[in-house]
Structure 1
């Protein structure tokens, strides 16, 4: 289960930056640290990072938007990641994803209105021989079918 923490202040972000300032190319480690501590990278952090690292806001935003694991809003209490790689697609991952998204009434990266579940695509979980694969709160599960994804979503509070 994800832990929801209060929104960071600019001072919180500056403290994280200071911890990584000795690194060459510290942007990714800083972003990972922010997300680890706060569950997402808040919009206000973009300008603080740009100023501290002497780079443009567009560069910071580009890195955040390029990497799928960074999010700009807090995730739900449970994160369900569905593999979208070719091996899982070949054994029904697309239909599984469609089923899960339809059940939740949303789309990728959405969080259910009750805040319980965020569903995200992931491009390989390393269970290629056991697809379709999902990850629920960091726990891998293979050979997931519609019945099992329904159980998972119910267990997570859908």
Structure 2
């Protein structure tokens, strides 16, 4: 997918702001995602050129960090913690319930773009396991009933979680 002229101009301005900053690649990638909602693959060549990196190196950074996405976000994003503390408190059963209720894989996205499931391997809420993030909001000590209640708004047409 190609970039619009407006997107190209905005990315160029962000590159200009970050390219001379030591370690500026990560702040730039975050700025692009904050601005556009994702880091378009079409932006990779310009970013690579500005930082004197290969496209593969930039893509490697993007794929290493789970927070970066290469397509616009879904209306709702649910990140279920799959780390050991949450697993020991039932996150695997919650993951199975999510798959059954949504018909999505652990890292799936609904066809209508309404819901995206993304596993995460620690939310820093180990003492309150199991935990999940829904649209950036932490929910802790989740059980099946709480998960169902959180999903109800997401699965309704135009619902808000």
Common fold by TM > 0.5 = yes
Tell me the equivalent position of 1:19: 17
Structure with the bigger RCO (C-alpha within 8 Å, sep 6+) is: 1
Tell me the equivalent position of 1:102: 100
Q: Does 1:31 align with 2:23?
A: no
Question: Shift of residue 103 of structure 1?
Answer: 1.5
Say whether the 8 Å CA contact 1:93–1:132 is kept in structure 2. Answer: yes
Number of matched pairs: 153
* Unaligned ranges ≥5, structure 1: 1-5
Tell me the equivalent position of 1:72: 70
User: What do you get for the CA RMSD once the two structures are aligned?
Assistant: 1.7
Tell me the equivalent position of 1:125: 123
Distance in 2 between residues matched to 1:147 and 1:113, nearest whole Å: 25
- State the TM-score, normalized to the length of structure 1: 0.89
Tell me the equivalent position of 2:38: 40
Tell me the equivalent position of 2:141: 143
Distance in 2 between residues matched to 1:143 and 1:15, nearest whole Å: 43
Say whether the 8 Å CA contact 1:10–1:48 is kept in structure 2. Answer: no
| Bigger Cα displacement from structure 2, 115-124 vs 49-58 | 115-124
From 67, 81, 84, the counterpart of 2:82: 84
* Unaligned ranges ≥5, structure 2: 157-161
Tell me the equivalent position of 1:3: none
Distance in 1 between residues matched to 2:67 and 2:91, nearest whole Å: 19
Say whether the 8 Å CA contact 2:19–2:50 is kept in structure 1. Answer: no
Q: Which runs of 4+ in 1 moved over 4 A?
A: none
Question: Shift of residue 157 of structure 1?
Answer: 2.7
